[in-house]
Amino acid sequence: MKIIGYKRNNFTTKEGTVINGINIYLTYPVTGTDAEGMVAERIYMSDGKLAKCGYKPRVGDEVTLVYNRYGKPETIAKT
């Protein structure tokens, strides 16, 4: 996956907790017999998760994502 952009996005939960993080925009090749080109995807990573990973997103980086059992991005690392 290749990072094509990112944007800070902080929000407040229903309980009033402020979550700080960024939206990361990625592309990767589409797969399948009836497919061609690239897929674009957006993921959200909180500042806490990024700090835990030790990675700071940069446009152009090739990265690997690991998702948790709920399908949410858990870790991101430069490949």
**Against a cut of 0.75, is the pTM above it?**
yes
What pLDDT is recorded for position 64?
97
What pLDDT is recorded for position 50?
95
What pLDDT is recorded for position 76?
97
All residue ranges of the chain with pLDDT < 70 are none
Locate the domains of the chain by residue range.
2-78
> How many angstroms separate the first and last alpha carbons of the chain?
9
What pLDDT is recorded for position 2?
98
Q: How many CA atoms lie within 13 A of 66 on its CB side?
A: 9
Residues 6+ apart with CB under 8 A from 43: 23, 24, 26, 65, 73, 76
What pLDDT is recorded for position 41?
96
